[in-house]
Amino acid sequence: MIDQPSTPAGGVGCGLLGCLGGLVLGLTAGALVVLASALLTAVGGSVPAASPPVAPALKISLTEDFLNRYVEQPPTGSLQLDVQPGNRVQVNASTVADVLGMSVPVQVAGLFEIQASPQTLRVSLLDTRVLGMDVNLTGIFDSDTAQINRNLDTMMQDVSQTLGAPLELTGLTTTDSTIELEMREAR
């Protein structure tokens, strides 16, 4: 008889779940970096001085195709962003997990909500699906989501510094393929 190392009870499921959850949040953070980069690139000019104080001075439209071209892909598998109406973005990842020495294909989907306040954007994890099954991971990744939101704060500060004027968000909408942001010079 061959001695095989034993796996602690619950070890495979918890380790796999942790890896998959980390993968979803890591890839989402990468997608948000792409969003920040696109936003900084789009606002390389200056804020028009003649804008009425209540009208948006800057409108940015980011298409799903554009975001997917620049999103960082995992080492094995793929990542796709699906912009949805209602200020939501679904992150779909396909990868391979090593379970007991076997490569197992895994599909992970995270549904995120984007909210705008005058000073920044906020992202919150609404739902997670692993292999097509609902898995509630929202509480587990609170600190990771907080870090993503801090990065969005920094992005807004960078955009304001690039333009040389403080900005405030006045609108955020999503369609089935586009994220649209509206900003104006802060009062």
Give the pLDDT confidence of 134-171 residue by residue, as tens digits.
777 667 667 777 888 888 888 888 888 888 888 888 89
The single-letter DSSP state of residue 6 is P
Tell me if 77 is assigned to some domain: yes
178-to-79, 138, 174 alpha-carbon distances in Å: 18, 25, 6
Tell me if 121 is assigned to some domain: yes
What digits encode the pLDDT tens for the residues 39-55? 556 555 554 554 445 56
Tell me if 85 is assigned to some domain: yes
8 Å CB contact between 58 and 47: yes
Tell me if 142 is assigned to some domain: yes
Tell me if 104 is assigned to some domain: yes
Total number of domains constituting the chain: 1
Tell me if 2 is assigned to some domain: no
Domain span holding position 97: 12-45+55-185
Predicted structure pTM score:
0.65
Tell me if 1 is assigned to some domain: no
Tell me if 3 is assigned to some domain: no
